Structure 1
Amino acid sequence: MASFNKVMLMGNLTRDIEIRHTSGNTAVGNFGLAVNRKFKTQSGEQREEVSFIDCTVFGRGAETLSQYTQKGDALFIEGRLKMDEWQDKSTGAKRTKLGVVVENFQLMPRGGSGDGENRGYSGGQSRQPQGANAGGIDHDSIPF
């Protein structure tokens, strides 16, 4: 049976990236992405619908996003859908959650920069920005 699992989304971070580490010291970043959809009803009324998607990113990608993004930043992600299943501790009921595992991403330009230059990451490649400090980061100087 053939299958294909690919997701591409562009939206805004709903919260700062939360970083944890596995027992093997691999960084795991969790964040939410708000994706808006504007449409017109049959009566001609403008409406907006927002979807909130839970996302997970691993390794250097998690560290990069944590260092260079914050709540509200625009982000383009590519990844795959993953269904998480667990048993609720209080009720014992089976619970599920559909989320996105991020494989590639691009940091989108900030507000009025207008330069159109995107900064991207492809999973597994290590791109270390030169001269960036964790304090006052100039997002326009990030080399990707």
Structure 2
Amino acid sequence: MTLNVVTLVGRAGQNPDVKYFESGSVKCSFTLAVNRISRNSDEPDWFNLEIWGKTAEVAANYVRKGSLIGVTGSLKFEYWQDRATGAKRSKPVIAVDRLDLLGSRQDTEQHQNTHSRDDDGEF
């Protein structure tokens, strides 16, 4: 028996990137910043999220940069070949099955006003 389940709680790194396909499918992607309890660092870990279907529509409508959310899904890897160098590349992605909107609108607005990120989604 194998098990691939990931559960994370954190803040959206940017507004969701939403794509609508001719087939009617909806895909939503964004990053999630999750603080790791550590004595050495206050830097968050960043996770790439991919959400499909009705859950993607919910994310598109309600998740904004700084929103506190919880996600449950599975870890997968995306593979591609770098066009410039020909090198094989990969990145981990959380394929989200469940999305929980945890923060209040007031909490999200306060977080956006007190924590600034640069354009790369970093603190």
Q: Common fold, TM-score beyond 0.5?
A: yes
Q: Residue 27 of structure 1: CA displacement?
A: 0.2
- Partner of residue 12, structure 1: 11
Where structure 1 has 5 or more consecutive residues not aligned to the other structure, the ranges are 42-46, 113-144
Out of 50, 67, 70, the position equivalent to 2:61 is 67
Instruction: Give SS of 2:84's match.
Output: coil
Deviation per residue, 1:3-51 (Å, 9 max, x gap) = 110000000000001111234120000010000013235xxxxx42311
- Partner of residue 117, structure 1: none
Q: Which has the higher helix share?
A: 2
The answer to whether the Cα contact below 8 Å between 1:80 and 1:101 also exists between their aligned partners in 2 is yes
- Partner of residue 112, structure 2: none
- Partner of residue 22, structure 1: 21
Aligned residues between the structures: 106
User: Which entry has the higher C-alpha Rg, 1 or 2?
Assistant: 1
Where structure 2 has 5 or more consecutive residues not aligned to the other structure, the ranges are 109-123
For residues 85 and 107 of structure 1, what CA distance do their matches in structure 2 show?
30
Letter in 2 for 1:97: K
**1:111-122 pair list within 5 angstroms:** 111=107
- Partner of residue 126, structure 1: none
**1:35-46 pair list within 5 angstroms:** 35-40=34-39
Instruction: Give the TM-score normalised by the residue count of structure 2.
Output: 0.80
Identity %: 29
Structure with more relative contact order (C-alpha pairs < 8 Å, separation 6 or more) = 2
The answer to whether the Cα contact below 8 Å between 1:10 and 1:74 also exists between their aligned partners in 2 is yes
Instruction: Give the TM-score normalised by the residue count of structure 1.
Output: 0.69
For residues 39 and 85 of structure 1, what CA distance do their matches in structure 2 show?
31
Letter in 2 for 1:70: R
Out of 91, 95, 98, the position equivalent to 2:89 is 95
The answer to whether the Cα contact below 8 Å between 1:38 and 1:49 also exists between their aligned partners in 2 is no
Ranges of 4+ aligned residues in structure 1 off by more than 4 Å = none
